[in-house]
Each structure stands twice: as C-alpha cells, then as structure tokens.
Amino acid sequence: MSDNLAPPRPTTGLQGRRDARFWLVFTSLCVSLLLSALDFTGLSIALPTIINELHGDNFVWVGSGYALASTAILPLSGGLAQIFGRRAIMIGSLVLFALGSALCGAAQSMNWLIAARVVQGLGGGGLLSLPNIIVSDIVPLADRGKYHGFIGLTWALASAIAPLVGGALASNGQWRWFFYLNLPVCGVALTMAVLFLNLPTPPGTLKEKLGRMDWIGNLLCIGGTTAFVIGLTWGGVTHPWSSYQVLVPLILGLVVLTSFIAYEGIFAKHPIIPWRLLQNRTSVSGYIQTFINPIAVVAILYYFPVYYQACMDATAIGASVNGLSISLTMAPTVALAGISVTVFQRYRTQIWIAWCLFLTGMGTFTILHADTAKSVAIGISVLISVGAGILYAVTYFPVLSPLPVSENAHALAFFGFCRSFAGVWGVSIGAAILQNELATRLPEEFLIQFLGGAEDASSSNINLAYSVIPVIRTLHDPLKHQVRVAFADSVAVIWKAMTGVVAIGLLASLLMRDVPMHKYVDENWDIQQDQRRVQLESTGASEMTRLGEIKQGSSSVLPSLSPSRAE
C-alpha cells in the first residue's frame, strides 16, 4: 500500500485567529461530546446497585446494548452528515440521546433499561462522530492537534466526574438521576446547536438525498455488527464459546461484515466506507491502533472498580475516588499530547512512547493481588493513563494525514466505528474472563451459601460478577479473604489478556510512515463559506452582480457553497 495519494485541491480554511463564532461552534461540540462521555464512563460504578434493584440477570447488555447501537449507527452517521449536513444529524443525535436518557431513568426492569440504552446508543453514536467531523471541517489537520486535545480533555474530565456522580447517586439509592441529569445538559447542547451550528447544508430535494444513501451497505453493516456483538457478548458468559448460540452469530456476523466490505468496494455507488480509506498503510495502522487502545481502556474502566469494590471493600463512591488517578492524569495528558502534534508537526514519536508506557503499565497491573496496598494500585494506574491518554489524542493523525480532506466525514465515521466497536470487545472479553475465572476460583462454601452451588454458578453470569460484590463486605474471615483472593486473581487474568492486546497495538504502530499533515480544509464544509454568504447578501444587488461577473472570469474568487460528495 502506498501513502502517496494525490493531494486534494487546496482550499481556504479557517487560519490564524479564531473569531467568536468559531468558539461558540467549538463549545457546542464539546458540550455534545460531554454527554456521551459522562454516560459511558460513569455507568459501571452504578451497575451493582442498578442490577440489585432491578433484579437483572444480564449486566453485560447494559453496557453492550449502548455500545452495539452506537457502533452500528456510526458509519451511517457519516453518510447522513455528508448528505443532509452536519447540523441536522447533530440535532437528531441529541434528541435521540435525550429520549434514551429519559427512558433509562424511568426503567422498571432490566429489559426496559437495556432497550432504553439502545435508544441512547443510537444518539450517542452520532455524538461520537459528529464533533470530530465538524472540527475537521473547520480546522486544518496541521493545526488540529490543540483542538483535538481540547476535545480529548472534555472526554477525560467527564471520565473523572462521571464515576463520582454515578457512585454518589448509587450509594444514596438515586441511580436514576444519573440518567435524568443528562436532560438539562442535552437542553443546553440542543440550544447551542440550533443557535450556532449554522453550517453549510447540501442542496437537493429529500428524494434526491435519500437516493444517495447506501441503503444496502448500511443494512449489511448494522446487521453484521449486531450479529457479531451478540455472539461476542454471549460468549463465555451466557453460553459457552463452543455453543451454537455463540458460534452462529459470530460466524454470521463475520460473513455479513466481510460481504459489507466487499460490497462497499465493488458495487456501492455512494459507499459509506470507501476502499480508498484503507489503501495506504499509515491509515490502516492508525485504524488498528484506534481499535486496540479502547479495548484495554474500556476493560480498565469497567473492571478496575470491580477490583476496588470486591478486594478492598470500597463502596461505589470509594471506587470512584480511587479511580480518579486514571482520569485526572489522562485529562492533561490528552491536551498536552494534542498540542505537541501542533507544535512539532509530528505524531509517530508520541505514539511509540505511549504504547511503551501503556504496555509497561498494563503488564505491571498483573501483579496486583487481594492485599496490595491501595497506593500501589493507584500509582500503577498513572502509568497506564499517561500512555492511553496520548494514544486517545494522537492516533487520529495517522488515520487522516494520508487521506484527502474531502474524505473527512467517511474517514472519521469509520474512526468512530473502530473506537466504539472496540469498547464492546473490552466489556465482553473482560466479562467472559471474569465469569469463567470466578466459576473455578470462588470457594465452594460461598457458591453453596449464596448461589446454590458451583453448577448454578457456571450458568449464571450476573451473580458471579456485579451482584455478589455487595455481599463480600458482610462475610467473615477466612471465607471473606478467600473470596477477595478469587476476585483479585480473576481480574488479574483480564489484565494479562489486555497486556497481549496492547502489545498488538505497539506492533501495529510500526507500520506508520511520517506523512505530512494538511494545512487546509475542505472549502465545501468550511464555516467561512456561510460567513462569506452573509457578507455578500449585505452588499446589495449591485455588488452581487459585480461579484457574479468576477466569478464568471475566475471561479476561485467565490467558492461554491454546495458541498460536493466525497466519493
């Protein structure tokens, strides 16, 4: 594969100082992203309380249902943004997310909660991709590091706040407000989107726009992703990996996703994931790294609180406070990593350093045991958060630097797809390992006393993970110590698996080449196009006539306001 793609036509982007309108648009994007980050990073802390109250039997789908919906919708969101415009899809995503949040807060059963999480995930998928797409429209890649760092900082700060909020509400029996609190934030984000996201809108009738949608490709992508995630989520938890309930959806999902990729490259007239995104090794390396990093990060976010609560008698809020070492270290790291790309106009060195730090920290995590001092666990997590924070901010650049700016929407929708799909893997792999290890490590006395025996435990996914955690602090030694050791040793297996995953990311990073970053944006989506239109309208009919005559002589004086299709 070659990185020497033909460069796109240079355009006039937002260079130099940013005006008030730019910052209002950028702030609205950060507020929108904050919603998705708050919900995703804080739920794991509240899960034991939620599951205990709703008497659920499948905790995995509370996280995986959201991740499945957001992952499946991500490629579609990029195509919709390209056809209907960024503003309409952003507003639609916010409305869906608000609706899902209200339904989650009102849930009266586990099935209700899972269904509401799916609705929430449909909106969350758009909120994952649209902010990045819009920023790529208005800021050149060479200057985007600091702004992408601010976006990463938003996510990292939400990761610090959300567990505290979720833990505090869960500890006081008010977990429903964890979802209801999204509603006022959604209101602010919607207001800002309506007022400030006045971005260029593609021309054409609704029928013409629907005709440009890749319906077959979207159906294949959503169907294949759904089947594969179902198999991945059930594997080793609800059903054995060798069972037909797991193998059928896994194989079906793999076949459908393979068919989707083939269809996009051979038959699709308006592909949502064009093959040219993967025709250079630097972008491929970036996508692989984008996929690998969240697998380990999400596993840590979900199962490090399990370690604190099961092995150190931490409450939900206590586990949240202990986990602050990750979020508070990651927040400035993400911002500084993004700024470093802008300052040095390089990204490979930061990525290589990050993977080495992440691999070292992840490997060190495996030495944690039931009696490890809390200070040691917190100190080790700092090393991981620095590496993961750099990767969160910087893997964006090898993906985009070899691609023309006209491919931003498609490239970033697929970027979000990889990141979101990885989250499913992180939750599901960790759940499968935790379930299988606890089934063999928990003492027989505990299994008989609380679960009815080892045979019942092997067929129950929830009782071996989240719902039994509150029981542990009520036990007496030596049984309590034995259960703590079982949990610590089981979680350690998750860290060993994640160490191998991180090593794959390090190897993938070696494929990157040093491709210079763009210093321009796609004029068809530039916010200045709308500003120039307003200025032209204010000059009066005579001035418009004069400028129209100039444009006939030189098309570069007044660029077209109609966004072109990036095919």
pLDDT digits (tens, 9 = 90+) for 1-58: 444 443 444 444 434 456 677 888 888 888 877 777 777 666 766 776 777 777 766 6
CA distances in angstroms from 520 to 24, 304, 337, listed in the order given: 21, 42, 21
CATH number, span 20-200+208-213+270-509: 1.20.1250.20
Rounded CA separation 378/347 (Å): 28
Q: How confident is the model at residue 114 (pLDDT cuts 50, 70, 90)?
A: confident
Q: What long-range pairs does 105-112 form, CB within 8 A, spacing at least 24?
A: 105/176, 105/177, 105/178, 105/179, 105/180, 106/176, 107/54, 107/176, 108/54, 109/54, 109/56, 110/51, 110/54, 110/55, 110/56, 110/57, 110/58, 110/62
**Which ranges of 401-520 would DSSP assign to H, the alpha helix?**
408-441, 444-446, 454-458, 469-472, 479-509
Distances (CA, A) of 407 to 70, 154, 333, 515, 521: 21, 25, 28, 16, 11
**Token pair listed for 438:** 């606890």
Q: How many whole angstroms separate alpha carbon 197 and alpha carbon 525?
A: 12
CA distance 413 to 369: 40
Query: Side-chain half-sphere of 551: how many Cα atoms within 13 Å?
Result: 10
What pLDDT, on a 0 to 100 scale, did the predictor assign at position 552?
44
Average pLDDT over residues 132-146: 79
DSSP 3-state assignment of 234? helix
pLDDT in tens, 357-381: 999 999 998 888 888 888 888 888 8
Residue 535 pLDDT greater than 80, yes or no: no
State how far the Cα of 236 lies from the Cα of 509, in Å rounded to an integer: 31
Identify the band that residue 241 occupies on the pLDDT scale cut at 50, 70 and 90.
Answer: confident
Q: Is pLDDT at 343 greater than 70 in this prediction?
A: yes
* Residue at token pair 């799909």: 421
Distance CA(215)–CA(220), nearest Å, equals 9
What pLDDT, in 10s, does the model give residues 200-228? 777 777 777 777 777 888 888 888 888 88
CB 101 within 8 A of CB 179: yes
Question: Which tens digit of pLDDT belongs to each residue from 165-182?
Answer: 777 777 777 888 888 888
Residue 530 predicted with pLDDT over 90: no
Q: What is the pLDDT of residue 44?
A: 67
8 Å CB contact between 288 and 461: no
Is residue 461 predicted with pLDDT exceeding 70?
Answer: no
Write out pLDDT tens, residues 289-298.
999 998 998 8
pLDDT higher at 205 or 287: 287
- The pTM (predicted TM-score) of the whole model is 0.75
Where do the domains of the chain lie?
Answer: 20-200+208-213+270-509, 214-269, 527-567
